[in-house]
Amino acid sequence: MPSLAKLFSPRSSLGNLEKHGPDIPTSGSDTESNKSPIPPQSVAREEQENLIRTVLSRFAQVPVSTIFVLEPTWNSSGLSDEQASLILKTHGPNTPVAERPLALLRMLWGAIINPFNILLTILAIVSAATQQIPTFVVMMAMVFASTGLRYWQELKSMIQAVNLIKSVTTNTRVLRSRNSSSEEVEIDQRNVVPGDIIAVTSGDVFPGDCVLITAEAITITQASLTGEMMPVEKTVRLAAPHPGETFDLLHNDNVCLAGTSVVTGNGHALVVSTGKDTYMASIASELSKQRPDNATQIGIKRVSYVLMAFMGVMAPIVFIVQGAVSKDWKGAVMFAIAVAVGITPEMLPMIVTSNLALSAVRVARKKVIVKRFDAIQNLGAVRILCSDKTGTLTADQVRISMSTTDAGDLSQLPIELAYINSSLQTGSRSPIDHAIVDFVKKSEQDIFADIPRDGWVKQGEVPFDSSRRLLSVLVSRSDDDGSEGLLITKGAVEEVLDLCVSVYNRQLSPSSDGPTPLGLDISASMTSILTADGRRKILDTAQRLNEEGLRLVAVACREQLIKPPMTISCSDENELTFIGFIGLLDPLKPDATQAIKDLATLNVQVRILTGDAPAVAAKVARDLGLIPSRQYSSTAENEKDVEASPSSKGEEGLILTGIQLAALADDKEAYNDAIDRCIIFAKLSPYQKLEVVKALRAGDGGRAVAFLGDGVNDALAIRGADVGISVDSGTDIAKEAADVILLEKSLAVVADGVVEGRVTLINTLKYIKMATSSNFGNVFSVLVASAWLPYQPMLPLQLLVQNLLYDFSQASIPWDNVDPEYLVAPKTWGAKSIIRFMVCLGPFSSPFDIITFSINWFHYGIRTLQNPHVSLAQTNWFLEGSLTQLFIIHFLRTGKIPFIQSRASISVVCTTFGIAGIAIAIPYMPKVNTALQLTPPEPMFYAYLVGMISGYALVVHIAKTLYQLAFKEWL
């Protein structure tokens, strides 16, 4: 390898730096020269971006021949081992922001600080303060169990995610100055430092923000940063910038940012910034900020506030009534606390956590990592799924879409000629060349109808370069004498068109019926002269195809005599005949269309947020069925007719670009209207993606929004959504920001996750609504008993055991079946819905409790506190309350007729009937009945009990039917 030092002039030749680049001060002393050009101080995002831009422009806007003068200890032979080691110690390892230690304590704190946990902990402390130790123990056990389960599940998922990120170790080839010579060595990417010179070739990822110092036909992909599918050409700067020339960070000819990768070509680059000082890190730094509450967290808080408010109102009322009637104010305090405990569903944290854990396990079986515990439940609430385009909806690969004539009519000839060109060229094969060759080889039918496929021999080649944007190959037939040749040229549309003098027209009659030596007749009889009007029509066709989302390659050719020995050059690329276009696109993922249909069936809207061009995004949206397909008039003369068509106009109202979005920033009403109306958001910056997600979440009274993406430019939106989704092949930053990581590139898993989330949420709401309505009814019964009975209708410990039996019976709710009609629309935690359900259904249990009080009063004559059968009265209500609550689960879990139209899962059936058996057995169990002060009931009471349970079931079913008619909902 020739020494890179020969490419650069001595430092003294730089002269005045102001002549070659911006007036930016260099390091003031040699002691600072080993440090990063970017100071380690913390700055705001805008300032950080400006600083990164300033540092890069300092090196990018000077001629490559003088670039090393800016840093005295950097040189074209590379850093020495000692220099690299010193800079590494000073600057730190080139570690992505995503790779940081697990925040174990933060995860534990997040599992503990849960509104339900806080509520139960407060009640437990009050219980302990009033000597209700068993109540304290039970409540804290629920808190510890739910916290432990949540922490364990999240820790397991986080370890999986970190291992996924660390499973890929990237090495980088750098130059090291050793023994007065330059030596290429391979090192871990983490050890790359500012000042390193890296060697790159096809497939290599840039480890930091770099400036090219040598380049041979280099193209790079910036899809992870910009969302653009096609590779971008890069080259070195040979001259000083023109006056007034601006520095574009993402679209500078000689700047290659961290995270981008080489597609074709090779070269060397100077590493300017690494680690936290890169542009990619400036985006990732936003991830360290506290993320907003998601739909589930907001819903849980609201429900917690409702329960606390209800408890705060009812407990004092019970205390006053009980104290006034019994005159035992101390006992009234204890009973009021027991009522407060009874109002609060003790198992709520455990049920919620169990539901979330079960959903995470179910989804994990489909090769999904659930990093955030409530992510799946949030998916059930999602109304809008925002998705990046490249790599998520599409395969992030260049594929052939069509082969057309100059007028846009389908023709195989362009792809046939392009295949010969791509398969025989010996330069660096671009993604377009790969796509052309793969298309022909994988085609089920032989597409060569115009010319032979095989038997071509290359006689000469003019390689592709970024200035010409063309590639030409001179070929002949192997079965011919070799004198007849065909020059095939493909490249950018305007560049090819500039070299053409005629247009091929297969509709014209050939000059003779005899065979042509090359199998292709491009004589004057088969071509027409390319006029200015003809050129305009070809460009109009190209524009129309571009607006359909296609990237075009033009194909042209001409006959040429071959006189060995001969070579061809750029001068031979003239007087060509224009053949047609090849249309390329990034194809949809195989399951994308079906996944979008499944999401539409689930009433989830899909929006595309991309950094790519509007036309490309619109093409994807049309193929997915998100926007109507364009219908072009067959009589349209030119593109103006097409633009005037109604379908085109309608499509414009569904697409918004980043520039248009920024222009609406000062008009809030128009901004929100555009956000709600548009399906496609194109040419967005990473921060605009985040703003769109925020606006969608805030719209329509608050909506749950998910974001699916895999690039650095998606990370902020992923984190800002209620549910952030990435894929295993995504960038480290995207995976670190995500709540869910798909280990297989199957979008069907997203639809499955939505269904699983709704099942989880519905089963959680079942518990909350059943528990709160039952407890609400018990409070009414307690108020009646407090005003009527001279004794406590149930002791605090008995009330606690009854609640625990009911709660344990509902522990199987996470495994319950869910009626299909509850899965067709998004569900959220609705505090109003819970209150309405509690108030409307809860009081219906009180009449049957009052019947029990009446049986105790009139049938058994238990009317005073001194009556020796008070424990019998308490036992009767304990049994009636327990059994009605247990059996009524089957009526409240569905809006249909239980056991006939809707059946509970086996686990729910076994649990409810098993707990019912335990409740009946407790009064007969020695020691247990003594501890609870319960006594075996008289046999006759069971007859009353059967009647009350049957009557309660009938009343609840009637109330349920009327409730659904009135409010059009059940769960």
Active site residues: 388
Find all residues with CB under 8 Å of 776, minimum gap 6, and list them: 310, 343, 838, 839, 842, 843
CA 942 from centre of chain: 57
Between the CA of residue 831 and those of 306, 307, 769, what are the distances in Å?
7, 10, 10
How does strand 704-708 pair with strand 470-477? unpaired
DSSP string of 869-890?
A: THHHHHHHHHHHHHHHHHHHHH
- Phi, psi at 965, each rounded to 5°: -70, -35
Coil, strand or helix at 36? coil
- Tokens 């020269």 correspond to what residue? 33
* Token reading at 488: 């095939």
Find all residues with CB under 8 Å of 727, minimum gap 6, and list them: 391, 392, 710, 741, 742, 745
HEC-encoded secondary structure of 305-334: HHHHHHHHHHHHHHHHHHHHHHCCHHHHHH
- d(CA 360, CA 294) in angstroms, rounded, equals 17
Residue type at 589 in one-letter notation: K
- Phi, psi at 488, each rounded to 5°: -110, 125
- Tokens 């195809």 correspond to what residue? 545
- d(CA 358, CA 654) in angstroms, rounded, equals 39
Count H helices and E strands in the chain, helices first. 32, 23
User: Can you give the C-alpha Rg of the chain in angstroms?
Assistant: 37
Residue from 406, 445, 670 nearest 529 by CA? 406
HSE-up of residue 893 (Cα within 13 Å, Cβ side): 30
- CA torsion 232-736-750-397 (nearest 10°) is 20
- d(CA 555, CA 570) in angstroms, rounded, equals 16
- d(CA 607, CA 605) in angstroms, rounded, equals 7
Between the CA of residue 202 and those of 212, 221, 255, 395, what are the distances in Å?
15, 11, 17, 19
Neighbours of 735 (CB within 10 A): 24
The helix (run of H) or strand (run of E) holding residue 668 is helix 668-677
- d(CA 93, CA 36) in angstroms, rounded, equals 12
- Phi, psi at 130, each rounded to 5°: -105, 25
Name the DSSP class of 393.
Answer: I
Between the CA of residue 961 and those of 184, 762, 953, what are the distances in Å?
79, 19, 12
What are the strands, taking DSSP E only, across 677-823? Answer: 680-682, 704-708, 723-727, 740-742
